[in-house]
Amino acid sequence: MRIGELAQRSGATPRQIRYYEEQDLLISARTHSNYRDYDESSVETVVQIRGLIDAGLSTRVIRVLLPCVHGPGAELPARPDPVISALLTAERDCLKDRIDHLILCLDQVQCYLDRVEVS
Amino acid sequence: MRIGELAQRSGATPRQIRYYEEQDLLISARTHSNYRDYDESSVETVVQIRGLIDAGLSTRVIRVLLPCVHGPGAELPARPDPVISALLTAERDCLKDRIDHLILCLDQVQCYLDRVEVS
DNA sequence: TTGAACCTTAACATTGACGTTAAGGTTCAT
DNA sequence: ATGAACCTTAACGTCAATGTTAAGGTTCAA
């Protein structure tokens, strides 16, 4: 599929998709006329990226996370890189903190809404 | 306390604190010499703001959330504004999605780390 | 075969959340 | 009473993620 369809189906803009490719989060084949050509799995990938970016992660971090975020069946690196592992461990801790904070925030917002609703 | 102390105790920079004030997330009294003057509760507030911004929320959203995020004992508006409520409801749903996404991501990163660790 | 709707690269513009610098006033220990 | 360490406003710089525009090539239905 071409970039327009991928954009529609993933909820991103073509500009964003091109940017993600530029940042090495995504690759594309090319048609004979140099149009980007995507397969079905790209939709899922772009949705993933959008979710992570919306969650506040940078493309730099996503670049590292993404290969590990394709389900428990994803390919493992032949020789696991300790630098990557350290980076991911740090990022995991960061994610935990972020999640805790958001949950706290969510609870408080919900609490507020409950009180307003009832009154 | 003055801005330097608040910065130290909250873990923010003076620049950030001034920015939050500019964005109406924070207010300050002034000394006779026009220095910003904060009370103890400001520390907590700035920490809150930092957490929310780190979590990916914008100051525009935080401006609405913040009055509702001061614990279950916070003051309720005299006449609850339906526009605010709607905004908060939308933001709550957004937070839920964000949290779900992050948890999924965390699980996958953890799963990856587990597999690398064991090998 | 043409024109509307797509695609390409390149480049400049914008936005949010700051950092940094400049030019000056304040506080306080010595 | 002075100098270091604070504070003020104002303004310009930066960075990531994206919008926007320009100048063109491609596809396809009428």
**Cα(B56)–Cα(B40) distance, rounded to whole angstroms?**
26
- Tokens linked to A28: 């594309």
User: Cα separation of B96 and B46, whole Å?
Assistant: 23
Looking at per-residue pLDDT, the higher value among A13 and A109 belongs to A13
- pLDDT of the residue at A6: 97
Cβ of A64 near strand D (distance < 7 A): no
**CB contact at 8 A, B7 and B14:** yes
pLDDT per position as a tens digit, B42-89: 999 999 999 889 888 899 989 988 877 765 555 656 556 777 788 888
| pLDDT attached to residue B2 | 97
Give the count of alpha carbons within 13 A of A61, CB side only: 18
Find, in chain B, the residue whose alpha carbon is nearest to that of A57: B56
DSSP output for A49-101: HHHHHHTT--HHHHHHHGGG-S-TTSPPPSS--HHHHHHHHHHHHHHHHHHHH
pLDDT band at A79 (very low <50, low <70, confident <90, very high): low
- Tokens of residue A83, six digits: 């630098």
Q: Which nucleotides of C are covered by protein (CB under 7 A)?
A: 6-9, 16-20, 25-27
Task: For residue B112, give the chain A residue with the closest CA.
Answer: A68
State the pLDDT at residue A115.
81
Give B111's pLDDT tier (boundaries 50, 70, 90).
Answer: confident
Residues 40-79 of B with CB under 7 A from strand C: 53, 57-60
